[in-house]
Amino acid sequence: MSGKKIAFTTLGCKVNMYDTEAMAELFQKKGYEVTDFDKFADIYIINTCTVTNLGDKKSRQTIRRAKKMNPNSIVAATGCYAQVSPDEVAKIDGINIVLGTKNRNSIVDIIENYSDKTKVLNAVSDIMKEKTFENLSIDNLKNHTRAYIKIQEGCNRFCSYCIIPYARGPVRSRKPENVLSEVEKLAKNGFKEIVLSGIHVASYGVDLKNTNLTDILKQVHSINGIERIRFSSIEPVVITDDFITALKELPKICDHFHLSLQSGCDRTLKRMNRRYTSEEYKSAVKKLRNCYPNVAITTDIIVGFPDETEYDFEECMNFVKEVEFAKIHVFPYSPKTGTKAAEYPNQISSEVKSIRSKQMITISNESNKKFLTKFVGKTMDVLYERCIGNNIYEGHTTNYITVRTKSYTDISNKILNVKINEILKEETVLGSLL
């Protein structure tokens, strides 16, 4: 057994967080002690992000910080930045191993066989040629009520602003039997809610025979103990009549959908290489609302995309107001080296992007308040996740409203009937147990 200390940190998305937990578990099984990243360790693993150039910068800073905590440590970079720019990462002071987004299930052997600390081991391979899902899994999630399960890797969409297809490679789906095995373990460990996640989860099954997202949802739904099922961001083209018909037969599916938009202006959507129109998006929203009366629809909006005129932005704002989202995640466009959009003419100034961000956030806040107000005085089921202090417990409804409730008994990991009393702040309400 090792006895050595190892520390992890994750930059970026929920998929990265899953990958980090899976790698940590591999080390724990070999006897390593996982410690906090800001403490002394023998090995530091930085799971990097490259969605924006700022993500690259944070990754570089974190690598340098790790080496300062223990100059004799082994420092390894995994993840998207390491995959897309391995030569750049290899030049960072303090780095020892560059791994990327492949072969992470071999990371323990790679670390243990590394000996020459004067040289950088570049173990990054061509992800674009990868054809099979790397079956990282988690057996022993701690201190969680909601479990994320990675069922899919890669993306074939190539949106003009996005580097991720180059960082994660083509779509690879996890075999259904491996997905179900992990869900069954989580159910036995007491988890009531799972989130099926991936880089482009709607693509699940395109590389497998006779299976797709609907099929895996049905199979997961049949597992006893799991009471709520969510899945990560999908596009409006997924919301077909057939998909809705299937969802109606699956009561464990939560009535919260993160439906990716990016812009409500068709001209901008076309230059983003998003493969739908604003009308198609509106149709998907209508289908979901007809199916789920209390549905929460959340989305992402990029403001200040290259050549976005005032008229384009006005069109986007009007569309967003019309849809009335439960919540909008607003991102000012950030040029990412290596993408088509970074080379587009008429890049928007930081000042304009800042103004547009504030305007869109104002719409989001107003829309969120309107959404929450509909539920004041109503009774809803809440899955409580944790005590946040002073006998106040926090949890979520099926449509992902954050609810805080006072309780003098431990109600963590329990689904309880709650009356919604008032709005506390953005996205959060106060409820009382019935």
H or E, element range at 114: none
- Would you state the pLDDT for residue 145? 76
Q: Mean pLDDT for each 10-residue chunk of the chain (434 residues)?
A: 87 91 93 95 95 88 93 95 95 94 94 87 93 84 79 96 96 97 92 95 95 97 97 94 96 97 98 97 98 97 98 98 97 95 97 98 97 98 96 97 97 96 94 96
Type of residue numbered 429: V
- Would you state the pLDDT for residue 389? 94
Residue 379 has φ and ψ, to the nearest 5°, of -105, 130
Residue 103 three-state SS: coil
Fold of 127-232: Transcription Regulator spoIIAA (3.30.750)
Closest CA to 208 of 142, 299, 131: 131
Fold of 379-433: OB fold (Dihydrolipoamide Acetyltransferase, E2P) (2.40.50)
| 320 vs 298: CA distance, rounded Å | 11
CATH number for the region 5-125 comes to 3.40.50.12160
Total residue length of the chain:
434
Q: Which residues contact 298 (CB under 8 A, 6 or more apart)?
A: 256, 257, 258, 259, 325, 326, 327, 328, 329, 400
What does the DSSP 8-state code read for residue 380? E
Type of residue numbered 18: Y
CB–CB of 48/11 below 8 Å?
Answer: yes
- Would you state the pLDDT for residue 137? 80
* Identical fold, 127-232 and 258-371: yes
Give per-residue burial for 8-47: e unless 16+ CB within 10 Å, then b: bbbbbbebbbbbbbbbbbbbeeeebebeebeeebbbbbbb
| 211 vs 288: CA distance, rounded Å | 23
Fold of 258-371: Transcription Regulator spoIIAA (3.30.750)
| 118 vs 156: CA distance, rounded Å | 38
Residue 109 three-state SS: helix
- Would you state the pLDDT for residue 142? 64
Q: Where do the domains of the chain lie?
A: 5-125, 127-232, 258-371, 379-433
